[in-house]
C-alpha cells in the first residue's frame, strides 16, 4: 500500500499564536512549550525543546458521514509547510496467509 502525508497550510493556524488562553480555549486550542518530539502537522517535523506550539482540535474530514473526523494536532509557531513529495512512503503488503493444513 502506498500513502502520502500531506502537510496542512500554516495560514489558518497563525492567528492562534496571538490569542490569549481564554480565546484559545474557545477555539479548542492550547498554547504549549515543546518538550521535544511533538509532531507538527504543518512542517511534518518534530518540535525541538522550547519551541512555541499550539495544540488544536482540527477537523480533517468534515463530511456529514460516519467518516467525519477530528483530532488534536500540534502546530509549531512559524512552521513552514512541508512539500508532500518529500514525505511519500511505500509500505510492503503483509505476506499472504498460509492455508490451514489438514
Number of domains in the chain: 1
Whether 99 is in a domain gets the answer no
Report the C-alpha dihedral over residues 65, 71, 77, 80, rounded to 10 degrees. -50
Judge whether 96 lies within some domain.
no
- Residue 29 CA to residue 21 CA, distance in Å, equals 8
Considering the chain, what is the average pLDDT of its residues? 86
Q: What is the C-alpha to C-alpha distance for residues 19 and 29, in angstroms, rounded to an integer?
A: 10
Domain assignment of residue 14, given as a range: 2-90
pTM for the model stands at: 0.76
Q: What percent of the chain has pLDDT over 90?
A: 66
Q: 3-state DSSP call for residue 31?
A: strand
Query: Count of CB atoms within 10 A of residue 58's CB?
Result: 18
Domain assignment of residue 52, yes or no: yes
Q: Mind listing the pLDDT tens digit for each residue in 16-46?
A: 999 999 999 999 999 999 999 999 999 999 9
Q: If DSSP codes are grouped into helix, strand and coil, which group holds residue 53? A: strand
Amino acid at each position: 500500500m502506498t500513502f502520502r502525508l500531506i502537510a496542512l497550510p500554516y495560514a489558518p493556524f497563525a492567528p492562534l499564536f496571538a490569542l490569549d488562553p481564554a480565546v484559545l480555549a474557545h477555539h479548542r486550542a492550547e498554547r504549549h512549550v515543546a518538550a521535544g518530539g511533538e509532531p507538527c502537522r504543518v512542517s511534518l517535523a518534530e518540535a525541538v525543546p522550547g519551541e512555541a506550539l499550539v495544540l488544536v482540535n482540527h477537523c480533517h474530514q468534515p463530511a456529514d458521514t460516519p467518516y467525519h473526523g477530528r483530532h488534536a494536532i500540534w502546530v509549531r509557531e512559524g512552521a513552514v509547510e512541508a512539500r508532500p513529495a518529500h514525505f511519500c512512503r511505500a509500505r510492503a503488503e503483509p505476506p499472504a496467509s498460509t492455508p490451514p493444513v489438514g
